Amino acid sequence: MLAAQVVLLSVRNRALAAELAAAAPRPASENAPERARLEVGDELRPFHLRAADGTIRAVEFEEWATLLLVFADQCSACPLAFPEWERLVEPFQRASVPVLGLWMDPPDGVPGHESAGRPFPVYTLTDAREVPLAELATVPFTALLDQDGRVLWRHYGPLSEELREELLAFAAP
């Protein structure tokens, strides 16, 4: 009888362990729905952005690369991304690589004075249906795109110094 109870408890223990493992919090990038992730090799088609002054900019990926930095006010990790992003953009700008900051949830839908002082231009999407970036479930998001809008390199979450160096090495000619 005792052996049967031990077996039964062992089976229940495994079932509970499996349930706990399935319910355990995973890193944010693993929680993002598939439709809301961009991976290396995915391609963005040209889209439009709105600047703080209301002007519209077409993003057509004409340069050999574009650095895309996506953030949101409702993102607790985004403030951690800015210091590394600020160190990252200068080498890209020196190499004439366009750097685009994409603010996903600015007040009133237009980037304002809060974006002033950033070492890169900050925009919002003009039409969220135009590009899958509006559905990103995980920000901050850093991506290097080629002249066809294809993701060459990407990272979800704040960049570490090591990741910043990895991206710089990856983008070096």
pLDDT level of residue 2 (50, 70, 90 thresholds): low
The whole-angstrom separation of Cα 149 and Cα 63 is: 10
Token pair of 147 as six digits: 């002249």
The whole-angstrom separation of Cα 7 and Cα 78 is: 49
From residue 74, alpha-carbon distances to 65, 71, 94, 137, 139 in Å are 28, 9, 31, 11, 10
* Displacement of CA 64 from its chain's centroid (Å): 20
The whole-angstrom separation of Cα 88 and Cα 147 is: 20
| Domain boundaries defined on the chain | 28-171
Q: Is the CATH number of domain 28-171 1.10.3720.10?
A: no
From residue 45, alpha-carbon distances to 42, 60, 130, 150 in Å are 10, 8, 8, 9
pLDDT, tens digit, 9 for 90 and up, residues 23-69: 433 334 344 444 468 899 999 888 889 888 888 988 888 888 999 99
The whole-angstrom separation of Cα 27 and Cα 23 is: 12
Average the pLDDT over each of 19-23, 35-39, 119-123, 154-158 and give the range with the smallest value: 19-23
User: Residue 40: what are its φ and ψ, rounded to 5°?
Assistant: -55, 130
